[in-house]
Amino acid sequence: MSDVPQTPPIELADDAVVLDVREQDEWDLGHAPNAVHIPLGDLAARLGELPQVDGPLPVMCKGGGRSARAVAWLTQQGFEATNVDGGMTAWAAAGKQMVATGDAAPRVK
């Protein structure tokens, strides 16, 4: 979806507040430290949980496809959002900080 705003991970601070729309198992393996987890399928029902940020809300998934759909939908609902270009795969490749649920080293599935 090239018609949604894109932000490269390198332009975001390591501690940026982002919306992660991946599934629970993906989230548990590794995510940005200040990410808010709302799976894409739950987004419509959980709009009240969206984090407040200055400027567009960065949204990510694994590679950018699901988050692009989320950004397009959020924009239609009147929210200002941007797709994190390349998702968590690009976040990890850029050497950005990650955390995992449990004791395992964080990774992207």
Q: Which residues are catalytic?
A: 61
Q: How far apart are CA 53 and CA 105, in angstroms?
A: 28
Name every residue whose Cβ is closer than 8 Å to that of residue 94 and which is 6 or more positions away in sequence. Answer: 8, 9, 10
Beta-sheet pairing, 36-37 with 6-7: unpaired
Instruction: Give the distance from CA 108 to its chain's centroid.
Output: 13
| Backbone conformation region of residue 90, classed left if phi is above 0, alpha if psi is from -120 to 50, else beta | alpha
| Closest by Cα among 81, 89, 8, 86 to 50 | 81
